[in-house]
Amino acid sequence: MKQFDGYSYVDGGVCAAKGFKANGLYCGIDVAMKQAHEMDLVANGIDIDDTKKTVKNDLGMIVSDSICNTAAVYTTNKVKGAPILVTKNNLEATGGKSRAVIVNSKNANTCNKDGVNIAEKMCELTAQVLGINKEEVIVASTGVIGIPLPIEPISSHIKELADGLSYDGNAKAVNAIMTTDTVPKEVAVTFDIAGTTCTLGGMAKGSGMIHPNMATTLNFVTSDVAISTELMQKALSEVVKITYNCLSIDGDTSTNDMVCVMANGLAQNTEITEEGPEYETFKQALYIVMMNMTRMLAKDGEGATKLIECTVSRAKNLDTAITVAKSVAASSLFKCAIFGEDANWGRIACAIGYADADFDITKIDVDMASSKGTLKVCRAGYGVDFSEEFAKEVLSEDEIMVNISLNDGSAEATAWGCDLTYDYVKINGDYRS
């Protein structure tokens, strides 16, 4: 991970900051869903296959020792999962305060008639075992869409989940939100605010159905910094624009995306209530954690073998840089070329060309790079000769950088994606079954 002056990476994810506990366990949501449909399957002559049952944590919880100022952003999809609706209502009711997160995988609780009732029940169950108000609970779900989420496995395991909360339970919690993810995604940093040591950490999930704006990602960030809800929301909205909203795996924007940030103030710094050096320090910590989780999400894209990191520099403004970078990182043809380790830079030029931004194509320079070196492929809008052998060597690595200079200003932005492989189709061809 990239080093930043004044910030140190630490272990612990969402439990790294003072006063945060977490836990995760397997409650059998997949079994309950299967049983609900078993009679219909048998009636239609369909054999029941137990081989796809996955015994991994599917229920997670994060709890703060004290009330947290809380900020959140959500999917832009018009179809929104019931947990999104309930969480938004809860944060509005409390004025941006929360104490706990309850989250499940294997079922998104989306497009279900009883979805809101189930999400509210999850909040009620959590509040009961923790002795807090139900409006202080953030609820989130991820998994298959359009199948009712059974509440019984959750209600029968919620006390066990709460009883197992610990200050080092982050690994169990992050495992509970994984779906097609192949690796857990956690980052935490410590830093100094006016002489006080502070910490900010997070966990994320996501591997497919990921495209700006937001992604099929659930992202939970915790901090012991004392900061107002309003400033935290401002920082989150600005950082999301240059991290998660610059991420694309497959062009599909999910129904359940959420990033929430909880800050309990237990570091005991003087509360940050206005913009200034302390605010910028917090915002940079948030950027470091969210940027690294964005890279992890991109590298673990469904079926992916390579991370694509596209940086656009010397743009006339930030929006132009973001638009061009996202256009290249999201190009299906370019993703395929990277999978085939083919330096077909014309696909980069094509994606630059249809980006909805104003620039002069005759000024553009393009390089492709990896740990094996830098390959110059375009200068002033035209291709340059290069060695196919060296190109193959550069593109054989698992992290590929595309560096584009628009030569038109000083703004810079980065977008992240991954290659498009045969395995992506295999994974999504039978995701529901």
Residue 67: CA count within 13 A, CB half-sphere: 14
CB 103 within 8 A of CB 136: no
pLDDT recorded at residue 64: 98
Catalytic residues: 216
pLDDT block averages, 10 residues each, the chain of length 433: 95 98 95 71 50 74 98 80 93 97 92 92 98 98 88 97 98 92 92 97 73 62 98 96 81 68 98 98 98 88 83 97 94 91 93 94 97 97 96 96 97 91 68 50
Q: At what angle do helices 318-329 and 229-242 cross, to 10 degrees?
A: 50
Burial of 193 (0-12, 13-18, 19+ CB in 10 A): buried
pLDDT recorded at residue 254: 55
pLDDT recorded at residue 413: 96
Q: What is the dihedral of CA 404, 242, 188, 22, to 10 degrees?
A: -140
CATH superfamily, domain at 307-429:
ArgJ beta chain, C-terminal domain (3.10.20.340)
pLDDT recorded at residue 50: 47
Q: Which two tokens stand for residue 48?
A: 């029941």
Q: Where are the domains positioned within the chain? A: 8-299, 307-429
CB 58 within 8 A of CB 179: no
State how far the alpha carbon of 214 is from the alpha carbons of 63, 64, 319, in Å: 25, 26, 17
CB 286 within 8 A of CB 187: no
CB 203 within 8 A of CB 174: yes
Which of 410, 404, 399, 350 is closest to 372 using CA atoms?
Answer: 399
The class of domain 8-299 in CATH terms is alpha beta
Residues, the chain = 433
Q: CA angle, 227 as apex, 224 and 230 as ends, to 5°?
A: 135
